[in-house]
Amino acid sequence: MNLIVLYPQPTDVEKFESDYTDHLELLHEKTGIPNEEKPYTVTKFLPGPGGNPPYYKMFVMPFDSADALEQALASQGMQEVAADANRISTGGAPTILIGQQN
């Protein structure tokens, strides 16, 4: 199971990038993930033939099971991280998806 967060194009890219760095630090702090570990991927989308894509950045974090994902999302720490994701996403609320690789 994957937790996927898609951030829309920000109104201020420089501020978003600065805030996003702090956001990832908060994720590590609130979940207890050591700073040197990155059990997630972050993809920054680039302009294509049609211009800027609707999303600026994508965060993907895998979980061993649906239960593990549900427990993580229900935790106080992840609730704080989710609130911060909304705060930094100046282009609109982030889209949160749950996915499963086949």
Kindly report, residue by residue over 15-70, the tens digit of the pLDDT: 999 999 999 999 999 999 998 999 999 999 999 999 999 999 999 999 999 999 99
Q: 102 falls in which pLDDT band (50, 70, 90)?
A: confident
pLDDT of amino acid 63:
96
- Taking residues 2-24, report their average pLDDT: 97
Domains defined for the chain, CATH in brackets: 2-99 (3.30.70.100)
Please give the structure tokens belonging to residue 12: 């201020």
pLDDT of amino acid 7:
98
Kindly report, residue by residue over 69-97, the tens digit of the pLDDT: 999 999 999 999 999 999 999 999 999 99
Contact 99, 4 (CB under 8 A): yes
pTM (predicted TM-score): 0.94
pLDDT of amino acid 69:
95
Would you say residue 101 has pLDDT above 90?
A: no
